Structure 1
């Protein structure tokens, strides 16, 4: 059965990876560089995306580079994941359903010394995939309106290197440097009375961002963690084509012309988390993160960036007193919840997000390798003028493989 789980998980993840170009669609990805993408490793999606204070031994913790300082010696870890998402979009007048299959991440980690570890990962940072038809918008300082039709694809990728060092048996520090790169293709049509303006633009982005993390074990059952994501400026460049149609006459204003575009600013983000184990069976995690988008002093044509608060609560259950010779006694169970106030404000209304999740960890053979399966249900936005509510069901599959390096066999 364990071999069947292994081969089935590989087949499913390879299938999902083949759909990696079909990144999630959302009307809110119209803003900035797209909707921020959650690509958590291992069992983290099952626990409401909590884990700043986690020190796992069977998967890579992407939320805090300091956790690498607690990596088991001689172990090489590989983590790959994919997602299937079914979303219903609702407005005041209609609803629409879409299904997407996505690549989530690819990462590996290994110990450098007895007290330090290193990891490399590639994952999406943001996703821009939207299509909006005949959206009626008011003209400023006027009683007139215009209609917007828009479509776009693209987003940013996150390629990061992380290192964690354990200074004492209880205290670790970590740092992560991420290269953010990618582009967004955007097509917009503005209709005002009998005049139509078509604008096609392609914007390229690239820049670096650093994250500093720490973890401190108060005792064997209680750990606290902190993360600081430093603010940074992502360089932008754009080429665009502008055409107008008036009285059936086409006029080309610009054709693939480089033009000025504002750089994109990442905010200072501060996170704190706690992890507590009870009676060697139940682990409870709680995270809080503050993102200071107001300090970036940037806005979008149709909305504003505002400070974001994020709360995450997670539970993990594995009875360490059980007989681990039995396969079913080694299965771990998870549950969690997540809420964030959102970083976008449109017409004075926040685009917040809330979700709940459950999951299991299925061991593979007699090793630390496992298949993590999680299901989550969530809601984003609200039904009101100018806003859309998203109801989504998400199935995440993360395959965490563990290998032992440089250990001599005792029996040939």
Structure 2
């Protein structure tokens, strides 16, 4: 029965991930779209850090953390953890002259984690990797006439992953994840001129797939009784993606939008029918300290050599890429995880912040992101399962240089179900 439930959930999630529109950000016009948060709600609400690991939560960012499943200080073995998350992102998109407030709701991940024995764990699941979803206008004067370009796009990449983690010696764990990325990106440019009967269109489609790997090393020594230092190094290797491309150009009637002419461009002659997308390696180092089952505070620094990124088929003229970096700080506090008379004492309170240098330079302006996160981990009964609720406030971009300032308010909802939900009952 459990196998049937899992198969059904995976099938529904794969359909949902493929069909959903994961962003409405104009900055998804660049690169391979908006790169989505890769952590669970629990990690996202601590500024997105992936250092912390325990026996009852899956850590999607840090494969070495699977070695801690079923290894808490009370020896409560959680053999199976099912986790899922979704979010609603509310935007305020602001230029010098206009303002809009769109929103989007998405499924963020679906994952299973297993303890295979003391110090050994594995997991697999589905999640979005990037999302494309933009629609904006650009106007300019040419020989006294107004030329309007309407840019819109959709799609993105999804990810299927498999992870394994192992504690090779006491307090030292290693882990690895293999990711298969796949999806379709669509873009369209419609050009119209004032007092001209017909407009022109340029439609491009890229079907993309490829692998990347994530390696992790965790060191978790006890500083003193009940207190643990956590240090980690993670390397997400270069993603080598293959893109199969199509392009159609033609004209349409400005009166009714009907195509007048459509021509499929011979991309083989331009050596663009099949292109490579190399997503540069990301390295993350983290350090944290805390009292077991009580509180934790940590920080991470990530670096990506994005200056080497290139998309020769979907490339645009007004963007260049520089090396990207990110700083994140976060933690949690649980007043008394084992309280019998106070539910609020068993709630986990999380908070964090992050500053991202995205590496995108648009119209000679750096595009940066700043976010503040906070949330609650709500226990479900007396089990190790919990409902996680989170919030994020942030801002990206600027109104300078004819750009868009993007303010956002994100609501997250995640569910982490421990093995008690799946344990087979025995009758004597």
TM class, shorter-length: 0.7 to 0.9
Q: Do 2:147 and 2:192's aligned partners in 1 also have CA atoms closer than 8 Å?
A: yes
1:389 corresponds to which residue?
A: 405
Is residue 91 of structure 1 aligned with residue 92 of structure 2? no
CA distance in 1, matches of 2:289, 2:232: 12
324 and 46 in structure 1: CA distance in 2 versus 1, 3 angstrom threshold: farther
215 and 126 in structure 1: CA distance in 2 versus 1, 3 angstrom threshold: same
CA distance in 2, matches of 1:67, 1:138: 57
Displacement of 1:256 in angstroms is 7.4
Q: Do 2:120 and 2:167's aligned partners in 1 also have CA atoms closer than 8 Å?
A: yes
Is residue 118 of structure 1 aligned with residue 139 of structure 2? no
Alignment partner for residue 270 of structure 1, among 267, 283, 291?
283
1:255 corresponds to which residue?
A: 264
Deviations 1:262-308 (A, max 9, x none): 42221110001112115863210211100111133557313112211
CA distance in 2, matches of 1:98, 1:240: 29
162 and 97 in structure 1: CA distance in 2 versus 1, 3 angstrom threshold: same
Displacement of 1:343 in angstroms is 2.3
65 and 231 in structure 1: CA distance in 2 versus 1, 3 angstrom threshold: same
Alignment partner for residue 221 of structure 2, among 206, 215, 218?
218
Over aligned residues, Cα RMSD in angstroms?
3.1
Comparing 272-281 and 98-107, the one that deviates more: 272-281
CA distance in 1, matches of 2:379, 2:78: 20
2:302 corresponds to which residue?
A: 289
Q: Do 1:280 and 1:319's aligned partners in 2 also have CA atoms closer than 8 Å?
A: no
Map 1:3-402 onto structure 2 (within 5 A): 21-51=20-50, 53-72=51-70, 73=77, 75-133=79-137, 135-136=138-139, 147-191=148-192, 196-219=199-222, 220-244=227-251, 252=261, 254-255=263-264, 260-261=272-273, 262-278=275-291, 281-296=294-309, 300-301=315-316, 302-320=318-336, 323-324=339-340, 326-402=342-418
313 and 93 in structure 1: CA distance in 2 versus 1, 3 angstrom threshold: same
Displacement of 1:147 in angstroms is 3.6
**Alignment gaps of 5+ in structure 2:** 1-12, 71-76
CA distance in 2, matches of 1:214, 1:267: 20
Query: SS where residue 217 of structure 2 aligns?
Result: strand
75 and 280 in structure 1: CA distance in 2 versus 1, 3 angstrom threshold: closer
Query: SS where residue 367 of structure 1 aligns?
Result: coil
Deviations 1:354-400 (A, max 9, x none): 01011111001222100000011100101112310111111000000
279 and 183 in structure 1: CA distance in 2 versus 1, 3 angstrom threshold: closer
CA distance in 1, matches of 2:84, 2:300: 24
CA distance in 2, matches of 1:360, 1:277: 18
66 and 244 in structure 1: CA distance in 2 versus 1, 3 angstrom threshold: same
CA distance in 1, matches of 2:124, 2:306: 27
402 and 206 in structure 1: CA distance in 2 versus 1, 3 angstrom threshold: same
- Where does structure 1 differ by over 4 angstroms across 4 or more consecutive aligned residues? 17-20, 142-146, 191-195, 245-251, 256-259, 404-409
Comparing 72-81 and 250-259, the one that deviates more: 250-259
Higher relative contact order (CA 8 A, sep 6+): 1
Residue correspondences, number: 394
Deviations 1:236-264 (A, max 9, x none): 01122110469999874623766525422
CA distance in 2, matches of 1:377, 1:229: 27
CA distance in 1, matches of 2:121, 2:146: 57
Q: Do 1:45 and 1:396's aligned partners in 2 also have CA atoms closer than 8 Å?
A: no
Comparing 374-383 and 398-407, the one that deviates more: 398-407
Displacement of 1:216 in angstroms is 0.4
Q: Do 2:84 and 2:416's aligned partners in 1 also have CA atoms closer than 8 Å?
A: yes
